[in-house]
Amino acid sequence: MYACYAATEFVVIDSRRIASSWRIHVTTAAVATSGVSAQATPPRDGAHDFDFLIGNWKAHVRRLPDRLVGSTTWVEYDGISNHKKILDSNANFEEFEVDNPEKHLHIKGQTLRLYNPDSHQWSIYTLDLDKGALNLPPVVGQFTGDRGEFCDQEQYKGRSILVRYVWLNISPKSARMEQSFSPDGGKTWETNWICELAR
């Protein structure tokens, strides 16, 4: 199981970043059932976990604009999500663009995914090419089976929250990505972005 929750210690969650009051906790079924130490379990190589994404997709998005206030009003968008590898590496880059013509809404974004072979984790960065900005921190995590979970800590409207991306329902013709916020250290989550990919 791979999960995000609050803690009260300093923990390195990738090779560049330390979280002082939050951490990502990883356990495996083998550790839980056999009592073997985490160090004895060989880490899984996830370098090709996002290979399923490479290529062009149609995207349908449901977005919750008003977050962590109990809103149930969603807005829907349609468009494209195109992914390619970078220089024959495991890194990949996404170009994303969706519209809601009825409400005259438009979302354009870019995503960079980098794999760290030492930590066996992915760092996922969103970019704003129009502003020349790389949004930090990235969400960091990995896949367990066919489910990927990636988390970070961010400031949102004056308070610290956990942000979680989940990839699931993966097949050659479809995939689903959800974004959720937690204001209480991972005890509860509110989903605010659902992207359904198809081709």
- Taking only the tens place, the pLDDT of each residue in 21-80 is 344 443 333 334 445 455 667 788 999 999 999 999 999 999 999 999 999 999 999 999
80: nearest Cα among 104, 55, 113: 55
20 pLDDT tier (thresholds 50, 70, 90):
very low
174: nearest Cα among 21, 66, 73, 57: 57
What type of residue is 76? Answer: E
What type of residue is 77? Answer: Y
The vertex-51 CA angle with 48 and 55, nearest 5°, equals 160
Cα–Cα distance for residue pair 135/86, rounded to 1 Å: 19
Which pLDDT score, from 0 to 100, does residue 79 have? 98
pLDDT digits (tens, 9 = 90+) for 96-154: 999 999 999 999 999 999 999 999 999 999 998 778 889 999 999 999 999 999 999 99
Instruction: State yes or no: cis peptide before 137, omega within 30 of 0.
Output: yes
Which pLDDT score, from 0 to 100, does residue 3 have? 64
What type of residue is 34? Answer: S
